[in-house]
Structure 1
């Protein structure tokens, strides 16, 4: 099975971008492996595998398509807003950091050619067919003829699905993200300083006029049930959020990390009832200002996170 293991990282990357869930992506890849093992045991089916990478990609994509179709029902009943399960790695990437992050090969595969949290959120607007066509063609350069096999359609129909997805991804209401890592760090440091001081004017200066904030707690913690949009509502919401955190029995602690390949924050505090609150925040940054904030508080999606180092502080050290 060494041939399959050589393809595993790419398959995880494909599945994660389609599903927005690391655990679901791993399940899809495991199911792909089982189907591959079954094909190897059947000479007739084995003869159909002329190009292993293409066969595995097509098989994995079909599995993801089925998951996406069933997930739409689950997402409709999801409590509050939905965000993808974040892939969190050290800010330096690759090597284990002082906070104990040690990304495995699947983490590195997921981060390769990273889409970012904002785009994964936008992909949730698409139909399963549009999402599969867009990810396969625009991200992994799979020909439309092969995508048509996955969708059980024609190449022309697959092309249409990808085109509609592309229009949604580039819509004017999608938070823009053009900043390089150095600019991301600078803007986030200014953001942390403004929220720590409670300076509304300083915070407004670091937020874009049309900034959007989305929080996903999975019903475990109070959070806004709809996106908060606009510089003044978002700024006041954030100052209230961090002021509440500062009143908890233990201090707020944080460390900079990469969230889906983009600079973000891993934060922790303890609530008055003693319950640990952990949050991963992804940002989009454009023209020196934050255009989007994505707070992931759902503990079911953060179970892979290690505890913060005892020396972690707020504001975080950059």
Structure 2
């Protein structure tokens, strides 16, 4: 019996478009044999989209939903932007975002959730793949919640309310007037969509990323040929700049390019007459981190010949 690992379950899911739990059952039923598991899923009508699962789904939509003091965000991928404009696909993303208000960050749990009208989210997704005719995947989800205050959502490049190419949630903890908090949250969300901070504060930046940047800064500083103590100061200066530019609270507000986000929040708190804390934020950009296969012959020829080509901005 072949070993059933998370990687093999993921591969089967990508090849068939079937739900995660169904893929686990299929592999268990067939002793880990990938091809036999595919046939098992086909026999049960769970892999109607076989042959589409090996195509990269890097387009699609990001969906957001807010209910009271809870907000959720999901990314559902498709192969083309054409499908992202399909009403059936948009309804699916909209409904899944609503369901994520309860399930939170766990995509597997979200896949098992009951979908409006019958079946689970995973089963509905499989059915959509077969009827729409493109590979699709529920990639990720997140939820934010505050005890008191607001969670504000924003979508950039929106194709419909709550659906777009970039989605942002901002959680503001405060007892201030909700109208004022909503306005502040919307401005902060628009800033986050544009500036793409990597963490809330400099201390929360990923340690591996910081070390990588430090290594790059060190190599650059060494090339100057200056003494070691000067090189160290150059590195520290570069790292201070990196933290400032990539941590949300120290970024310059895109609206005026001179006021730090922390100061924007402090000023609004003073206006509202109550403390305001930016508790957390989430930013999903469609397809980030997915290597999309290029079926553009001209692009392949250009790459092979070393000719540069500008990439579109997301």
Instruction: Please state which band the TM-score falls in when normalised by the shorter chain.
Output: under 0.3
**TM-score (normalised: structure 1):** 0.26
Scaled by the length of structure 2, what TM-score is found? 0.26
Q: Which has the higher contact order (CA 8 A, sep 6+)?
A: 1
